[in-house]
Amino acid sequence: MPPMNDLPELPADARALCEGAAGLALWLTGAGISAESGVPTFRGKDGYWTVGSTNYRAEELATYAAFSQMPEDVWAWYLYRRGVCRGAEPNAAHRAIAELEAARGERHLLVTQNVDGLHLRAGSTAARTYEIHGNLDYARPVAGGARRSIPASVEVPWAKDRALGPAERDVLLADDNPLRPHVLWFDESYDEANFRFESTLHAASQASLVIVVGTTGATNLPLHIGRIAVQRGAPMIVVNPEPNPFSEWVDETGCGVFLQGTAGEWVPALCKHLTP
């Protein structure tokens, strides 16, 4: 976290919301917080992946249908993405949220859309961190079962043009127990066992403050969190470089604050005023 003297001054309304949050403060983070660590969103030029002579977009590869048809190619793409994420380091915003958890305990919950694992590497605990889209460091059996760490024998980083070799195929795609990346694909639905769906909605219904950082609100469950906050009249603090659905709700209801800017600019200051 930056030195306290270097933190920006929060607007009075944002400071009052933080200092008045006696109950559960629910954080919702998206790709914007990790972009400051150098993790690309994989929806722009970095999102294309060539299989043979065909370029696939992320939305096409990140599906159960694609995995069913070309599991080796989909795994190669995910292992490359995993290598990029493992090469990144948590930034000041990740660290500030982790330190805040230690101070607030059960009055703190982090819900993240990010699959890069940076929050956990910064010190956030698995118990207080709901990774609602999964984590690239894990795999799970296609037929169902608990997630497991990707074996250390699988190379990190993974070259962009690297295909699975026999050893990786044996580890990841054994005929009797094929593994898939532990992520939520575009043609799948949230569930509780893998992605904490019901637990997340319950937390949103209990939160006294919702802080939304670095997300466009393009996926379903994050928008549910925002709607629940709006319906309950729970205030939201929204941090994003550009307006998004969450900031529009704040504008419409007057219940919250939109801090236009990056996670690195605002999150450490928010955490300072949330600390009891």
Catalytic residue set: 133
Angstrom distance (rounded) from CA 193 to CA 145: 9
Amino acid at 238: V
Q: Is the dihedral of CA 88, 223, 27, 108 positive or negative?
A: negative
Residues 211 and 28 sit within 8 Å (Cβ to Cβ): yes
Using CA atoms, how far apart are residues 115 and 36, in angstroms rounded to an integer? Answer: 15
Grouping H, G, I as helix, E, B as strand and the rest as coil, residue 229 is helix
Nearest of 196, 76, 94 to residue 147 by alpha carbon: 196
Q: Which parts of 174-235 fold into alpha helices (H)?
A: 192-195, 197-206, 220-232
